[in-house]
Amino acid sequence: MESFDFNSNGYKVKKVFKSKKERYDDPEQQAEALYAKENGLPAPVKKHNSAEEAKAAAINSRNRSKSTSDLKPSAAKPKTSNVKADRKARSRGVSGCYSKKDGNRFEYGLDDYVNQKEDVIDESDVEDGGDLSEDYIDYVYSFDVEKVHGALKEYFNNGSVECALADLTVLLFDRESKSRMAKEVMRCSLDYDQGRVVQGYKLLCALLDEGHLSDRNVLSAIEDLLLELEEIIHDMPKARGFLGTLIAKLISDGVIGRIAFDDITSKLNHSRQAMSCALEVYMYLNNKALLKGKFEDCGAYAPLEVLRDQMEKILREFLLSGDADEVSERLKELHALHFHHELVYLVGFYALDRMRDTTMEKLAGLLKHLLNTGYLLESCIEPGFLRLFKELPDLVIDIPAAYSLCDVWVKKCKKSGLISDGLTEKLPKNSTRRNRTLSEGADGKFQYIDAAGEAMLVA
């Protein structure tokens, strides 16, 4: 059934438009639209009553055309099981709300919108399969010299290569940092003595073996050190000789090539110190025996067995010469303050082993001299005596009167002021063997009295 509109200038107008959008306020425009629709022609443009309506319509049309042009046609979405739940959520007005209301359950914006202006990372900026470009790495990271020096200082004190690798490898992030790491390891190795050069060489080889550094990084570090050698010598007077031995060792072991080192030296003809260092390198390469002697374990970096043998030699020479000053100089050359408690133990062992009162007096005087001159730390006295007390059950096998001899030794040390009353009380009194009664023989050697009352040699 057809419907008519009588509100437009008294004319009867047939309603043929289904939606309110298709209606026109002007009857003439509506008639034109009806004619166009019946004949398949484009509909006339709807006129607006005011400038504000025209402006609003233009803005809506522009926004609508802009949004549709940015949209990328996508394939039809498959029907999923949560469509009903999404529809319910949208009917509640949750979608598009602020985060406190919807709990971040929905994303803002259109689901099928694709941003065609996303930043694309150039693959050429990524080095070695990494995720960051070099420019970004240089901006974010910086080589922390203080952390490197702290890790190296700790390594030179404890000698643990594993701990040093764990501390240093986290500071490597690009080629420049690797070259600087090799340079700092070599530079810090040039200070103090040859033993530190040996430690630096071991750490450098560990970094190379693990793949953290390459021979190119080492060559770059050597070139920089040779260029700065004149300034380094002001702080480290022996740096040139130590650097020469280190470079010669690297070339001798095949870490770097001799031809590559020749290329570096050819660029440094203007530097007198660099050329002198290069001459020392070639001298060590021509004399492998001398180079081998430079990299033997020595000083505080030697194994404990080597240090123990050196201390035993020092004590044997002292028992022959009685020169306490010579012992002081020899201990100073060892640079083994951390192992001086072993010297205190060895002095006590020799006092028990020689079994002579004069020997005990001489050895007690030696400890007192070393303590007064500062070559022996007071903190090493107690650990050395406690170890001697602990070893008494084993010493009894070779020295039957070890407990009695140790009692005499402790009393002499207490009399000279070496030990305190508290340490004296820690001497074991009861042993698995019966106590021996000691007496001094005609030649000054201690003897013990057996059950029959006869004097017998202690050992």
The owner of tokens 């030696």 is: 366
Helices within 126-271 (DSSP H only): 134-140, 145-158, 161-168, 175-189, 194-209, 215-227, 229-235, 239-252, 258-266
pLDDT tens, 254-292?
A: 999 999 999 999 988 888 999 999 999 999 999 888 888
- Is residue 317 domain-shared with residue 276, that is, in the same domain? no
Asked if residue 433 lies in contact with residue 400, where contact means CB atoms within 8 angstroms, the answer is yes
Q: What sign has the CA pseudo-torsion 243, 249, 250, 251?
A: positive
- Is residue 246 domain-shared with residue 206, that is, in the same domain? yes
Structural domain count, the chain:
3
For residue 5, the surrounding DSSP H or E stretch is strand 4-8
Question: pTM surpassing 0.75?
Answer: no
- Is residue 274 domain-shared with residue 235, that is, in the same domain? yes
- Is residue 265 domain-shared with residue 185, that is, in the same domain? yes
Helices within 253-380 (DSSP H only): 258-266, 272-286, 288-294, 304-321, 324-334, 340-354, 357-373
Average pLDDT on 161-167 reads 90
How far apart CA 197 and CA 432 sit, in angstroms, is 50
Average pLDDT on 113-118 reads 48
- Is residue 357 domain-shared with residue 404, that is, in the same domain? yes
- Is residue 410 domain-shared with residue 451, that is, in the same domain? yes
Average pLDDT on 209-220 reads 92
What are the backbone dihedrals phi and psi of residue 432, each rounded to the nearest 5 degrees, phi first?
-70, -20
How far apart CA 410 and CA 307 sit, in angstroms, is 25
pLDDT at 52 over 70: no
How far apart CA 157 and CA 242 sit, in angstroms, is 19
Which pLDDT does position 136 carry in this prediction? 46
How far apart CA 95 and CA 113 sit, in angstroms, is 16
Pairing mode, strands 437-440 and 455-457: unpaired
Q: What sign has the CA pseudo-torsion 409, 411, 414, 415?
A: negative
Structural domain harbouring 42 = 4-58
- Is residue 352 domain-shared with residue 212, that is, in the same domain? no
Asked if residue 181 lies in contact with residue 168, where contact means CB atoms within 8 angstroms, the answer is yes
